[in-house]
Amino acid sequence: MSRTKIVCTIGPASNSPDLMRALIRAGMNVARINFSHGNQATHAQSIAALRKVAEQEERLVAVMADLQGPKLRVGEIEGGAVDLRKGEIVTLTSRPQPGAENEIPVPHPELLRDLRAGQTVLLDDGNLELIVTQASEGCLKCRVVAGGQLTSHKGINVPGAALRLSTLTPKDRADAAFALEQKIDFFALSFVRRAADVCELRQFLRDRKADVPIIAKIEKPEALSVFDDILAEADGVMVARGDLGVETPAEEVPFHQKRIIRACNRAGKPVITATQMLQTMIENPHPTRAEASDVANAILDGTDAVMLSGETAVGGYPVEAVETMAAICTNAEAHLTSGPVHDKSGSHETITEAISCAAVEIAGEVNGTAIITATMSGMTARMVARHRPSVPIVAVTPSRATLARLALVWGVESVLVEPFETTDDMVRMMVRTARQKGVVAWGDPVVLTAGIPFGSGGRTNMLKVHVVGKGEEA
């Protein structure tokens, strides 16, 4: 199994129990439920089937609810499609049933209200381009710059426009409440523009006495300028390169990706690289060499997880896509020489950071076979993982929520254990768990980290080199 985590989107191509089982065996760690498609009834069926199969396979598969967010889309076009020709004038209108030729329904009054002459409107993920020539109440006159066929419900992007949109729409609130009933493990928040957007969802969860990690999807240019603030509020980040690549120059996206990954590594928060990673495998059984390089370079950059979207949701080769992704990940991991934040300078802001760095260093010095962490919140494991040690990381926790949270963290194999009372009990539990997993053997040196007293969460202050079997019963 790869140490990089793999997120798979569940859809028509993968929502049967047999296919879910195959995805799990191929390497799926997290199942993404995309609330932009389907309905709550079908999502409930998918989640129930997934959990049943995962239990049968004795594997933890976390569930991520990806909220749609304020995605702007064209309305229902008469006849299903219209051809836009370069140079012609078309009208974007809020009328649900346009009455004139060359009128395109746009069920977003805020879009028509906020745009002005001279601004660009992109349709169908940037394949079609319009320029606003005249703005009036309820409609926009636009000139077609790049034409083509436009079908119903295609996406709308407006680069550089400051639209007054709420990140958490009424649909998102209903879907989030439903997702809480389903006991999902992560929320992915779409079109985050500022830290307050994350806080809005956080407050929604607090009002319902829920504590679920929030993954902020970075896909708007506005988010890049305040990214540090967003990262401080979020529990993790997704580099959503699809919409980001539409609203920012394509040549800049790789560098935004690298910057975001580096910042997440420093903060010890998981980062997912997503969108079009193995896009051609929607229709072909093999990726392009460029796609293989894209996945590998994301891993070398320091991503915790890579995500498949259409490849597993609607593609013809969902299992092959996961197998291919896992193979690329495993090969790339063999070329990791040190962690993205590997630092021998001795400068650390917290005791937890110092302990996690030292654990990786000492494991190398004593030829340790594993780093074993006891963690209540997951912090210890995350801080160790950001250094990308060459040895396995085993995290033992009595918390089911923490077990699921670590499904997104690079290199961490998490195990649910019974609560323990004393430090000696904790050490015995840590070593016994690693032995049962086949990670360590009798006589192996291992590095143990934990917070003492255990259970307070977020504090790591114990570091111990332990020889498996010493002082233990065979």
Choosing from 217, 241, 269, 382, the catalytic residue is: 217
The yes-or-no answer on residue 217 being catalytic is yes
Return phi, psi of residue 103, to 5°: -100, 135
Q: Which of 275, 433, 449, 460 is catalytic?
A: 275
SS (H, E, C) the chain: CCCCEEEEEECCCCCCHHHHHHHHHHCCCEEEEECCCCCHHHHHHHHHHHHHHHHHCCCCCEEEEECCCCCCECCCCCCCEEEECCCCEEEEECCCCCCCCCEEECCCHHHHHHCCCCCEEEECCCCEEEEEEEEECCEEEEEEEECEEEECCCEEECCCCCCCCCCCCHHHHHHHHHHHHCCCCEEEECCCCCHHHHHHHHHHHHHCCCCCCEEEEECCHHHHHCHHHHHHHCCEEEEEHHHHHHHCCHHHHHHHHHHHHHHHHHHCCCEEEECCCCHHHHCCCCCCHHHHHHHHHHHHHCCCEEEECHHHHCCCCHHHHHHHHHHHHHHHHCCCCCCCCCCCCCCCCCHHHHHHHHHHHHHHHCCCCCEEEECCCCHHHHHHHCCCCCCCEEEEECCHHHHHHHHHCCCEEEEECCCCCCHHHHHHHHHHHHHHCCCCCCCCEEEEEECCCCCCCCCCCEEEEEECCCCCCC
Catalytic residues: 32, 73, 217, 275
